[in-house]
Amino acid sequence: MARKLTHIDAKGNAVMVDVGRKPSTARTATAKGSVYMRAETLKRIMRGGVKKGDVLAVAQLAGIAGAKRTPDLIPLCHPLALTSVKVALACDPKRRAVDIAATCAVTGQTGVEMEALAAVAVAALTVYDMCKAMDRAMRISDIRLVYKAGGKSGVFRGQ
């Protein structure tokens, strides 16, 4: 049996799901992703030799801002009063990658998966933007939800 789509009404119109009757619970979500690049590009990021500035610090702030602006970017997302947004970036020279992880938290009636995913995506786009002059072949990849807790669907653990 096919599941009913929650964001489509009986007439086929897009709707924002009514969460008004759901109880507020503590909810968290973590997403991850990577930006792959040339070894020299990663070395310059690690040395602080990128003309636009500290790539990791700027991308971290951009990721936090991205989580906060998620309902402005994703039309059917609920605006949430986020209680925490943490974005971490780490360089992996063996894989020639900047790895990004974002964890968002809220006490509310709906989850924060989209906020965590948006934080990773915006941080990754910022890494690309700051380094594109030296490496246009960078690749943003593997953005995914790796953890979710709270609400009636319980805990999800991904890879």
By CB neighbour count within 10 A (0-12 exposed, 13-18 middle, 19+ buried), where does 6 fall? exposed
Q: DSSP for 10-53?
A: TTS-B-----TTSPPEEEEEEEEEEEE--HHHHHHHHHT--TT-
Three-state DSSP at 115 gives: helix
Domain boundary assignment for the chain? 25-148
CA atoms within 13 A on the CB side of 122: 23
Q: Given 9, 54, 129, 142, which residue is catalytic?
A: 129
For the domain 25-148, what is the CATH code?
A: 3.30.70.640
Q: What is the pLDDT of residues 58-109, one digit of tens each?
A: 999 999 999 999 999 999 999 999 999 999 999 999 999 999 999 999 999 8
φ/ψ region of 57 (left if φ > 0, alpha if ψ in -120 to 50, else beta) reads alpha
Q: And the tokens for 20?
A: 């008004």
18 is catalytic: no
- Could you read off the pLDDT of 1-33 as tens digits, one per residue? 556 667 777 777 777 777 878 888 999 999 999
Q: Look up tokens 């805990």; give the residue.
A: 155
pTM: 0.91
